[in-house]
Structure 1
Amino acid sequence: MSIQAVIFDWAGTTIDYGSQAPIFAFQQAFKTAGIDLTVAEIRRDMGLDKAQHIRKIMALPDVQTTWQQLYHRLPTATDRDQIYHDFKQRLLTELPNFAQLKPGMAAVITYLTDNQLPYGTTSGYDADMLKIVLPVAAEQGYQPRVNVTSEQTNGVGRPAAAMLAHACDLLGITDRQAVLKVGDSINDILEAKNAGCLSVGMVDGSNLMGLTEAEFAALTPVEQANARQMVSDQYHGVQADFILTSMAELPALITTLNREGEKL
């Protein structure tokens, strides 16, 4: 078996080191409604469709308690829609500022292109968000062949298999075990497993680590090693097939898997 395609996540995986743009937008949208969210409260469900993510946040006991104190009732669907609208407008504004390719991606793009390996994406972004991200990424040489959002799967996002399965179908890949899904959150790994694809967890610059590039660089070597181990432990906890420190390691992984496939 040889790898036939690679499907990436966006923020925290290929762009936006540390997945910072969504955090800012979530915090500001909820703050407008009187809710102060911690970064941990936001990051625990990163990787979900953004509307579903907001529903999960609004179901948190502390958020519901604060909402009742402020408005003397539980949040409604209308409240969720309003926060999503606010979140989306803030994210659309911020996305261009966080769309720089992560370290190692340029080499990965060259490798995939040279080896004629198709690649695509699944995302918690919606179509409007992708309209902003795609041209910025294209200017840097990153042009996925397919880009699947939950709008294309009747609202079914990660960790379900629907988006990843649809991406495979669009690429004409029938052997899911020949597809690598590369992501930076637990939901990315679960998506891959549910779709029958091979899962790759990215450590540096991931949502799970949650640090900017400057913050990570400021750590001591021991602190960096501990941060990486913390992320790796979480990937091991959901049985990720492969765990890579950085994107720069992906070409070697694909080469190794292809060589092993040739021996079978």
Structure 2
Amino acid sequence: MTIQAVVFDWAGTTIDYGSQAPIFAFQQAFKATGITLTVAEIRRDMGLDKAQHIRKIMALPDVQKTWQQLYHRDPTATDREQLYHDFKQRLLSELPNFAKLKPGMASVITYLTDHQLPFGTTSGYDADMLNIVLPVAAEQGYRPSVNVTSEQTKGVGRPAAAMLARACDLLAVTDRAQVLKVGDSINDILEAKNAGCLGVGLVDGSNLMGLTEAEFSALTPAEQTTARQHVSDQYHGVQADFVLTSIAELPDLITTLNQSDATQY
């Protein structure tokens, strides 16, 4: 096997350890309407297009019940649009504060560049969000040649194949089975499966882990092992092709795949 390209997710995968920026923005936007969201309620659908994610959250039974108690009616399309607008403005203001590359990503960039391996991204971000993230990432040496959002696929985001398929086309991929899609959520793995690519789930700093770097470091070694196993089990539950503890392990995975017919790592 020869890996032709790598397609990354953004928050929780290459930047923003623990995917914290969207959590903050979701909680603050809903709080302004009188609804308190738990982190678990937000994280269960992370990886989706953000407008779709808003719809998913507003469809949660507890959220609908609270909305009806507050406003004496069901939420409308206008309510969802207003919430999304508020969420987006909050996220846009916070993104620069959460765009630091994750540990190990710098070495991955060096490896991909040295081996002339094309790489791009798909994202739950929209173009306005990416316009803020891209220059901050570029200052740290991370410059994906292709960045696909659902705006480029007629609103079709994860877990459908559309964004990843377009990224593969733009990267001149001839066989999607030789593309690694690297992400930190279940929807990233499902996107890879639906597109016929290899799904790589990251454990540390992931949305599924849901901890900041400081919070993870504060765990005991036994607690860290348990937390990592819980995340790995979730990836394996959706048949991820590979599960890596850290993004820093990606170059070794690519080297192994290029040198053999390995299908597990």
Q: Which runs of 5+ in 2 are unaligned?
A: none
Alpha-carbon distance in 1 for matches of 2:169, 2:75: 38
Write out per-residue CA displacement over residues 60-114 of structure 1, whole angstroms, 9 at most, x where no aligned residue: 0000000000000000000000000000000000000000000000000000000
Alpha-carbon distance in 2 for matches of 1:152, 1:64: 31
Alpha-carbon distance in 1 for matches of 2:237, 2:261: 27
The equivalent of 1:199 in structure 2 is: 199
Alpha-carbon distance in 1 for matches of 2:165, 2:260: 25
On the 8 A contact 1:176/1:196 being kept in 2, the answer is yes
The equivalent of 1:81 in structure 2 is: 81
What's the Cα RMSD here?
0.8
The equivalent of 1:141 in structure 2 is: 141
Alpha-carbon distance in 1 for matches of 2:161, 2:174: 14
Output the amino acid matched with 2:244.
L
Alpha-carbon distance in 1 for matches of 2:174, 2:18: 33
3-state DSSP of counterpart to 2:180: strand
Output the amino acid matched with 1:236.
H
Alpha-carbon distance in 1 for matches of 2:120, 2:261: 22
Alpha-carbon distance in 1 for matches of 2:45, 2:12: 14
Alpha-carbon distance in 2 for matches of 1:247, 1:63: 35
3-state DSSP of counterpart to 2:260: helix
Alpha-carbon distance in 1 for matches of 2:64, 2:247: 39
Q: How does 1:92-131 map to 2 (within 5 A)?
A: 92-131=92-131
The normalised TM-score by structure 2 is: 0.98
The normalised TM-score by structure 1 is: 0.99
Q: Which runs of 5+ in 1 are unaligned?
A: none
3-state DSSP of counterpart to 1:120: strand
Output the amino acid matched with 1:19.
S
Alpha-carbon distance in 2 for matches of 1:203, 1:129: 24
Output the amino acid matched with 2:51.
A
3-state DSSP of counterpart to 1:231: helix
On the 8 A contact 1:3/1:178 being kept in 2, the answer is yes
- Is 1:56 the counterpart of 2:56? The answer is yes
On the 8 A contact 1:2/1:261 being kept in 2, the answer is no
Shift in Å, 1:156: 0.1
Alpha-carbon distance in 1 for matches of 2:127, 2:34: 28
Shift in Å, 1:261: 4.7
Shift in Å, 1:56: 0.2
Q: Give the ranges of 4+ consecutive aligned residues of structure 1 lying more than 6 Å apart after TM superposition.
A: none
Write out per-residue CA displacement over residues 180-239 of structure 1, whole angstroms, 9 at most, x where no aligned residue: 000000000000000000000000000000000000000000000000000000001000
Output the amino acid matched with 1:47.
G
